[in-house]
Amino acid sequence: MATSSYFGRNSFVGVAQESGWGSAVTTPTVSRPIVSCSMLRQVEKVPRANLRVMGVAGLRPGHYIASDKATGSLELEATYDNIGYFIDAALGESSTGSASGDGIYTHTYSLGDVPVKGTTMRLQRGTSDYSETFTGVVFNTLTLACAAGEHMSLTLDMIGKTSTDTEGPRGDTPLSLTDPSKENLVLHHHASALNWNSNNFTMIDFEYKIENGLAERMYLGSLTTLQPVQSDYRNVTVTVTIETDDVQGYKAFIDDTVKDLEVTFHNDGSAALERELKVTMKECYIESYTDEISETGMVTASVTFKAQGSGGAAGDRGTQILVKNINSTAVHNG
């Protein structure tokens, strides 16, 4: 089967909120270059169950399609100006305060019901002549991660309804990416110490993760899912690696201390150049603390904090992400 070759360079995604879950939106409202994307149609094919075989070869003579799903993950560079759409969709709720005198807005993303609506995501696979359009996409997990010497990454695990195939083998005509006017990467040296229980912990690496507990809803009469729903408890955790010159963290783990947590990334800019991304978690306890010794080098500890929440107000539901930039809305394309 002859195919034409194409390359991964210049791959990107375009996303837009659907008016109703699974209703495709043709024109993306936010476009982002990708680090990687594994989103694909997963068509499950099952051999027929009867015991018949074809002659002496012993091969089974038939099969059927059991399901047609769309799943995968998406990794982006985390920037101060351009990832509000994904944070809003994964957490479920957002608000924007009034601008400062320098034109800086503070956007607050909080835990709300998910998914309220779906996302149409168009994936341009590099130099391919086609883009693939996935409908009914919801974000099951969101991870912000950063290690010493690196930029922060944003990774999302996704569940979709299906993809369209109106033109060509991959679906739609190709997309073109308009480079954003503002990028402003979130970088490792922008990080503050992790503040918890009146102590500041200097981090070697950092991972913030939200698990929404969404599940597909397969049913008779269709190969695709109904709108995924939250079928398990949500989890919000921060996992960090620290040097073990710390005694307070291990003691707090033993004592089952519960306190609020805060980590801030700030670009040290001022006035209109200021950018900030702050993660807060409510009523956190240390879920795990490990500092095994296996070599002669520096001993480090891996510590996982887990949020509980303390009430129904937006700031008390377990976690918030605060972003400062010059966009006037929480969901924006820089």
The verdict on residue 136 lying in a domain is yes
Is the pLDDT higher at 102 or at 310? 102
Is residue 246 very low, low, confident or very high in pLDDT (cuts 50, 70, 90)? low
The verdict on residue 1 lying in a domain is no
Q: Which residue has the tokens 């993809």?
A: 163
Q: Token pair of 217, please?
A: 């809803």
Q: Averaged over 67-80, what is the pLDDT?
A: 96
Q: Token pair of 289, please?
A: 């603390």
The verdict on residue 5 lying in a domain is no
The verdict on residue 3 lying in a domain is no
The verdict on residue 79 lying in a domain is yes
Q: What is the pLDDT, as a whole number, of residue 1? A: 46
Is residue 171 very low, low, confident or very high in pLDDT (cuts 50, 70, 90)? low
Count CB atoms within 10 A of the CB of residue 166: 9
Is the pLDDT higher at 199 or at 176? 199
Q: What is the pLDDT, as a whole number, of residue 55? A: 86
Query: What are the backbone angles phi and psi of residue 223, rounded to the nearest 5°?
Result: -90, -15
Count CB atoms within 10 A of the CB of residue 186: 24
- Structural domain tally of the chain? 1
The verdict on residue 216 lying in a domain is yes
Q: What is the pLDDT, as a whole number, of residue 223? A: 94
In our burial notation (b when 16+ CB lie closer than 10 A, e otherwise), range 53-92 reads eeeeeeeeeeeeeeebbbbbebbbbbbbbbbbbbbbbbbb
The verdict on residue 148 lying in a domain is yes
pLDDT in tens, 306-326: 999 888 898 889 999 999 999
Q: Averaged over 285-291, what is the pLDDT?
A: 94
Is residue 16 very low, low, confident or very high in pLDDT (cuts 50, 70, 90)? very high
What domain range includes position 286? 12-47+63-174+183-325
Q: Are strands 276-290 and 259-266 parallel, antiparallel or unpaired?
A: antiparallel
The DSSP bridge partners found for residue 45 are 65
The verdict on residue 330 lying in a domain is no
